[in-house]
Amino acid sequence: MIFDAPLVKGTFKKRLAVLEKKLAEKPNDTVRMLKQVVCDDKEHLATLMDKILGVKGEGVMLKDPESHYEGRRSFSLLKVKKFDDAEATVIGHHKGTGRCSGMCGAIQVREKDGTEFKIGSGFDDAQRRKPPKIGCTVTFKF
């Protein structure tokens, strides 16, 4: 599934047009273009998200049609994903390493059903220096 042509000069819209033309010249059952949809507004985005999540997709990539290709993170490309949250009890702390040396690297938590796991991302340095106490409840997103 092809969704962009980074070596083609021009806007995203132009790159898609070049892709469509090239693929039409040599039809192929193996290589296809990913269908692109213009998102009209927030309601349209919600409908697209519902469709994609309904078939076990992760989310939607929003791309500015007038943007030029950037080989790095870009403000012209936005990933939209759905997150859920839940609560768990802190049952331990793991020491940080590298940049987080001397601070908390992760907290060990247990959900009500007994599932245990570590949470190591989403903390700033102040939170790592003073992590949630053992026995308290934390909310996490996934």
Return the DSSP state at 118: E
**pTM as predicted:** 0.63
Please say if the pLDDT value at position 28 is more than 90. no
Rounded Cα gap, residues 21 and 34, in angstroms:
14
Do 138 and 88 touch, CB atoms closer than 8 A?
yes
Phi-psi region of 48 (alpha: psi -120 to 50; beta: other; left: phi over 0): alpha
DSSP-derived secondary structure letter, 133: P
Tell me the mean pLDDT in the region 64-84. 93
Q: Where are the domains of the chain?
A: 12-81, 85-141
Identify the helix (H) or strand (E) that includes residue 16: helix 12-25
pLDDT-derived band at 27 (thresholds 50, 70, 90) equals confident
Is residue 64 a contact partner of residue 76, using CB atoms and an 8 Å limit? yes
Q: Which residues of 82-92 are buried (b: 16+ CB within 10 A; e: fewer)?
A: eeeeeebbbee
pLDDT band at 40 (very low <50, low <70, confident <90, very high): very high
Measured distance CA(16)–CA(23) in Å, rounded: 11
Architecture in CATH of 85-141: Beta Barrel (2.40)
pLDDT in tens, 44-72: 999 999 999 999 999 999 999 999 999 99
